[in-house]
Structure formats: structure tokens, C-alpha cells
Homo-oligomer: A and B are copies of this chain.
Amino acid sequence: MSMRNIRLRLAYDGTAYAGWQRQPLPQGMTVQYRLEQALSALFREQIVVTGAGRTDSGVHALGQTANFYCHKPVPVENIPLALNHKLPPDIRVLSAEEVPMSFHARYDAKSKTYRYLIQRQARANPFTYRYAWTMEEDLDVAAMRQGAGYLLGSHDFCHYAASGVSASHFVRNITELRIDEPPQPPTLFPWEYVCRPLTVTVTADGFLYRMVRLITCRLAAVGLGKIPPEAMADFLQGRPGPNIAMAPAQGLTLMEVEY
């Protein structure tokens, strides 16, 4: 049996998981662990997957990508349904395709897109709190957009990274950083009702540890008038600002990995 390289597209609700990356079990169940368990059972061999992005504890994904090597000739079109039967309902495989042996989910990713949701306490609904940061006050979106402008392009983002995960260099290229107030969609399902979160969408060639959440909580501080838009540029230079609480994990979703 010849070896194959399979690429999966995955969505998961991160609420119950200690993030993507496999780790010793006492530290918590992870998405990678669950996926490797399901794959190993399906292919009856020890499968190790490579994920495009190591999402943090509590962070969600709509378009996580992972690849793995296997021998057993399970038809690729059967893999999503077969895996979904073995996975818990909060992890879903959306698609599977055979890719060249050289494909690597992390190294080959050209960019990734994350989205962060912020909802107003007064408009919050009981179905969204697991997926959004709930705030008391209104945000000044124009000021946030001005602040976001300073981060576009290639910069050294070392002051937009939390310590804890090492990186060989800190230069990243943000190609898009958008703040949207989406219109209220037609109400069909419970979780659409009332909710109208502000979205912060970021695309970059790579992200440092907690970079999106650091960008978001600082942009929120701009929106609240706690710091001026220019402070976003000052942070890049390492100029200290006021203490700003980290944006919570549950508001963040890995939307897409672009190859």
C-alpha cells in the first residue's frame, strides 16, 4: 500500500477544549488529540496530524486545515462522514482531499484569517456568549478603523505578542484588518436573534502568540476612548500604554487558511 497525504478542512467549537495542539492529557483534552484518535481508529494505524494553526484554549475554528499521511485506501470522499461518526459533535470535518506528498498544512499556508466578535451587553442573547466578547459600552468604530490602519502591512509585531510561545522572528504582514458592523440577518435560527456583533477580521501571513486577541483588546480600548487611535502605532514601537485586559478566547474564530 502506497502512502497518501490527505488534507482536511475542519470546524470546531473550542468551548470544551484546551486548544488545538495535542498535549499530555492532564492538561486537558485538545482538538488534535480527538482528531488523531478518530483517524487512528478509522485507518487502523497510528495517525499524526499537522494543523495549520495552533488555536488557543477556547478558540473556535470554521476553516482549520490539517494534513496527515496514511496507507489504507479509504476513498477520500468517504473520509468526512466516517470521521464525523467517530468525532464528538463539537468537531466536524468539512472536507477531505488527496494532496501531493510535499504538502504541509503549516509551512504551505500563505495566510490565515481570524475573526473576533464583540457584542453589546444590551443586545446580547443567550446563544452567543460562547462565541463573543460581551461589552457594556458602545464602541467608536471610526476611531477603531483609524487605529487599525497603523497595523496594515509588514511590521515587527513583537509588542503584539504574548510571551509563552517562541517565534524565530516577529515580522508579520497584515494584508487585511477590517472592522464591520454586519446588518441584522433575517431571523431564522435562535442564535441569530438580537445578536449583531461587531466583527474584527484579520488576515496575515502568520500570527504570533495571542496576536489577534492583543490587537482586538487594544482596538476595543481605542473604541472606548481609553487610548487614542495613534496608540496602536505606539505599541508597535514598544511604547508602554495603560494596562488593557486581554480579549477573552471565546470571541475568536479561525475562519480560513489560504494556500
Contacts and interface: CB of A to CB of B under 8 A. Distances in A.
A124 B195 contact: no
Nearest to A92: B126
A125 B193 contact: no
Interface string A136-179: 00000000000000000000000000000000000000000000
Contact of A188 (B126, B134, B182, B188): B182
B197 A189 contact: yes
A255 to B, nearest CB: 8
Q: How many copies does the complex hold?
A: 2
Contacts of A126: 11-13, 60, 89-92
B89 A134 contact: yes
Nearest to A117: B189
Interface string A189-202: 11111110101000
Nearest to A12: B126
Given A117-B189, A131-B189, A89 B124 contact: yes
A242 interface: no
Given A62-B193, A185-B185, A81 B117 contact: no
A93 B69 CA distance: 51
Given A92-B125, A185-B185, A190 B60 contact: yes
Given A62-B190, A84-B124, A89 B129 contact: yes
A23 to B, nearest CB: 20
Interface of A: 11-13, 60, 62, 80-81, 84, 89-92, 94, 117, 121-122, 124-129, 131, 134, 182, 185-186, 188-195, 197, 199, 253
20 contacts: A11-B125, A11-B127, A11-B193, A13-B127, A13-B190, A60-B126, A62-B190, A62-B193, A89-B134, A92-B125, A92-B126, A127-B191, A131-B190, A131-B191, A185-B185, A185-B186, A185-B188, A188-B199, A189-B191, A192-B192
> Closest 5 interchain pairs by CB?
A89-B129, A13-B126, A90-B126, A191-B191, A182-B188
